[in-house]
Structure 1
Amino acid sequence: MATVGLPRTGAGRKAQIDRAVRVGSRRLVHEVPCSSTVRRSGIARPTASHRARGSSVASRSSRSRATAPDQGGQGRSRPRQADLLRKWSIKLDKRLGQHFLADPRVPDRIAGCVARYDPERVIELACGAGALSFALLEQGWPVHALEIDQRMIDLMREETAGRPFTVEAVDLAREDFKRHADGRRIVFAGNLPYQISSPILFGLLEVLAEPGVAAAVVMIQHEVAQRVVAAPGSKVYGILSVLLQARLELRREFVVRPGSFVPPPEVDSAVVTLTAREDPVLLGEDGTALVRDLFSERRKQIGGLLRRHRGLSLAQIPEMESATGLNAQARPETLSVDDFSRLAGWIRKLGDR
């Protein structure tokens, strides 16, 4: 969700963008309390250690830049997204799920979330036409962007000439984010394409424990954000909730309405901050498989599911209850991360007998 396809006529394009910006000044961003930090099945605030943790310049060009008064209050100039997209004749690529972020407050607020971690460098995911990139640069951070659309790569290399910004062609769904962990304090940030947000989140899961990696601040579909931070017993609590919460602390920052984008998506978006847990629960491959198997029938009782999926006998069910403290009549959707960990550990020991 980084760029946009606009109407073919100049007047039509300008009118559509101007409408979006006018609406954006009124009611596009809905705040959610920042205490929505998930740790295990409860709530926690970012710790001091998480706050403390954690290129060459593109060549200049003769092409002029379209600029506007700074929207971030820094006294500098920021290119207008609408002007950039018209200037470069950018059209929507539906395959990439591209949407133009028209409300300048949103990238400023994302940059504010990034600022908590005092990064030495920001790795931007899906920079598009730079709505977030310029807000990050205004904070004085070097930015290295990962983008799949060559049109956007060309645009950003030229429009950021002379600034500490680099960009490379990357498929985020297949990226090994660990290669960007170089020991410096870094933060990953970006407006993620809806259709590949889950593989990106699992990719970030692997890098956030690396030295120097302080956090990831990402915009995702609001429905996915709800699942990410959901507690046991919630209707949206599931596989994604358990696997991410086992190793991460997750904080929902704020919700962004469809009117913030041109063209508007059909659903709300939300910005979420991810940091590594100080006490991660390592489920392992067998524990991860157990979570997936049990949630395949989330409304069934775990006693029956364990007999069906793990071959337990009826006589072994009371032993499971005694060893794990779980009730065989409980359902997967009510189990916490720690519950899954104890259950996976007991099954592991059972197999070693």
Structure 2
Amino acid sequence: MSLDALPPLRDVIAAHGLGANKAFGQHFLLDLNLTGKIASLAGDMSAAHAVEIGPGPGGLTRAILAAGAKTLTVIEKDSRFLGALGEIGTASGGRLDIIEADALKVDEDASLPRDGARIILSNLPYNVGTLLLIKWLEAEPVWWSRAVLMFQREVADRVVAAPGTKAYGRLAVISQARCEVRMGLKVPARAFTPPPKVDSAVVVLDPLPDDKRFADVEALGIVTASAFGQRRKTLRRSLAQAAGQTGASAEDLLTAAGIDPGARAETVDVAGFRRLAEAWRAAKG
């Protein structure tokens, strides 16, 4: 059997008695046109190894394989879907590897072949999407070359947000200090089965080159958590907690970073937070 000969996803769901599990944040994409568009955001995958988190009945899985991925590894926590995924594996000609596991605990770097680019493509479960993104952003060395990720629209907006906007915060700073990010595709709630209460969006992330990617993610995480934890306060006040770990004052750190101590976190660009993280690390010693 070939991929084209596989039965429609709705028939697969009915035959295997599959339904979305709210506890796992599951919402299925059954529109082949839409899953094809998402897969296309990965670019040429003919020499690439793809990994998908939470494939469910395999809608995006089929699209990734149809788009020509050299191999695809899917990581699925819910054992109910293994039968349907196995059928796709048979039809893929040996290009699909299935791992039953919690993606938060999997070492993807060790699980994927190393003879080509590695691309993450996922309609991420709503309840762990941000945690998975942070896990991949913190990876050093970076094992992936591109990530095409669907989130709730609110989360996607936070990843690509610019300084001075309501959505700009810690997630934007960390994402953009490590990657080039862009909004790839907006997806209405009605596209899913069952439809969630909110719209979704696909974000594309490309890791920055080594000489441009900010390496000290720990320091960046500490200063952004402190700065954005009290958004309404000036940085002179909101940064006190992070500064307290170094023995320096918030004013000292901000001055060293060339940032106005009277500014608020949402007005400071990514470059400013990079300097602030460097100042924190220097003071920490």
Give me the TM-score of the superposition, normalised by structure 1.
0.72
Matched with 2:39 is 111
What secondary structure, in the 3-state scheme, does the structure 1 residue paired with 2:51 have? Answer: strand
Partners in 2 of 1:316 and 1:217 — Cα distance? 37
Structural mapping, 1:210-249, within 5 Å: 210=142, 213-249=144-180
**Helix, strand or coil for the counterpart of 2:150?**
strand
Deviations 1:91-146 (A, max 9, x none): 33221122221322111101211234554321121111110111122233222211
Shift of 1:201: 0.5
Q: Name the counterpart of 2:135.
A: 203
Supply the distance in 2 between the matched residues of 1:342 and 1:266 (Cα, whole angstroms).
Answer: 39
Q: How do 1:52-131 residues align onto structure 2 when only pairs under 5 Å count?
A: 76-116=4-44, 118-131=46-59
Which structure is richer in relative contact order (CA contacts within 8 A, separation 6 or more)? 1
Q: Which residue of 2 aligns with 1:16?
A: none
Unmatched tracts of structure 1, length 5 or more: 1-64, 71-75
**Please, which of 271, 277, 289 is the counterpart of residue 202 of structure 2?**
271
Closer, same or farther in 2 for the Cα pair 1:227/1:131, shift >3 Å?
Answer: same
Please say if 1:187 is aligned against 2:116: no
Cα RMSD after superposing both structures: 2.6
The CA deviation string for residues 209-248 of structure 1, in whole angstroms up to 9 with x for no partner, is 536x321111111110000000111111111111121111
In the alignment, the residues of structure 1 paired with residue 22 and residue 85 of structure 2 have an alpha-carbon distance, to the nearest angstrom, of: 20
* CA displacement 1:272-296 (0-9 Å, x = unmatched): 1111112112234233211101111
Identify which of 139, 142, 153 aligns with 2:82: 153
Structure 1 contact 121–186 (Cα < 8 Å) conserved:
yes
Distance verdict in 2 for CA 1:111–1:321, change over 3 Å = closer
Residue 181 of structure 2: aligned partner: 250
Contact kept in structure 2, 1:177 and 1:207, CA below 8 Å = no
Which amino acid counterpart does residue 82 of structure 1 have in structure 2? R
| Contact kept? 1:124, 1:133, Cα under 8 Å | yes
Aligned 8 A contact 2:189 2:198 in 1? yes
When the two structures are aligned, how many residues end up with a matched partner? 278
What is the identity percentage for the equivalent residue pairs of Structure 1 and Structure 2? 31
Is residue 2:140 matched to residue 1:140? no
What corresponds to 1:334 in structure 2? 267
How far apart are residue 271 of structure 1 and its match?
1.0
Aligned counterpart for 2:98 among listed residues 146, 167, 182:
167
Q: Structure 1 residues 306 and 168, CA, compared in 2 at 3 Å: closer, same or farther?
A: closer
For residues 133 and 316 of structure 1, what CA distance do their matches in structure 2 show? 48
AA aligned opposite 1:201: L
C-alpha change, 1:110 and 1:281, in structure 2 (3 Å) is: same
* 1:289 and 2:222 are equivalent in the alignment: yes
- After superposition, the Cα gap between the structure-2 partners of 1:176 and 1:229, relative to the gap in structure 1 and judged at 3 Å, is same
* Alpha-carbon distance change, 331 to 221 in structure 1, aligned in 2, over 3 angstroms: same
* CA offsets 1:41-77 (integer angstroms, 9 cap, x no match): xxxxxxxxxxxxxxxxxxxxxxxx8x9xx9xxxxx44
Q: Is the 8 A contact 1:130 1:156 kept in 2?
A: yes
8 Å contact kept, 2:235–2:250? no
Secondary structure of the structure 2 residue equivalent to 1:327:
coil
Which runs of 5 or more structure 2 residues have no equivalent in the other structure?
none
Say which of 255, 258, 276 aligns to 1:343.
276
Contact 1:204 1:216 in 2 (8 A): no
CA change 1:303–1:313 in 2 (3 A) is farther
Give the TM-score taking structure 2 as reference length. Answer: 0.87
- The structural deviation recorded for 1:156 is 1.1
Larger radius of gyration: 1
